[in-house]
Amino acid sequence: MSARDGRAPVMADVARLAGVSHQTVSRVVNGHRGVRPETVVRVRAAIDALGYRRNATARAWSPDAPSSSAPSPRTPPSIPEPWPPSSARPAQPGTS
C-alpha cells in the first residue's frame, strides 16, 4: 500500500516514482517490447518499492482481455424503442 495516503498504489504512482509516463508503466507491466532496459529496471524498482499489484477487475474490463465475459466499454447500451411507436397514429375524430 502507498504509505502516503493508505490506498493501494496505482499505475500513476509507479509512473511518478519511476519518472516515466503511465503508458510506459503499462508497457513494462504488459511485457511490450521497445522499452529501454534501464527504464524497465526503474519501473520494476518502483513497482517493488510501492507494492503495486495489477487490478484484476480493471484488467477483466479491458477490451483486449483474452477471456473477458464482461461487456466491452465500447459497446453502446441497447436503446429502447420510442413509445408510442412512430407508426402509431392518433385517433382521428369521426373514425371508428
Which H or E run includes 73? none
Cα 50 to Cα 14: distance, rounded to the nearest angstrom: 7
Structural domains for the chain: 11-60 (1.10.260.40)
- The pLDDT tens digits of the residues spanning 52-95 come to 998 777 667 766 666 545 555 555 556 666 666 666 666 677 66
| Amino acid at position 89, single letter | R
CA distances from 44 to 20, 51, 67 (A): 12, 10, 27
**Would the pLDDT of 8 be above 60?**
yes
Share of the chain above pLDDT 70, in %: 56
Backbone torsions φ then ψ of 75, nearest 5 degrees: -80, 120
* Rounded Cα distance, 70 and 63, in Å: 9
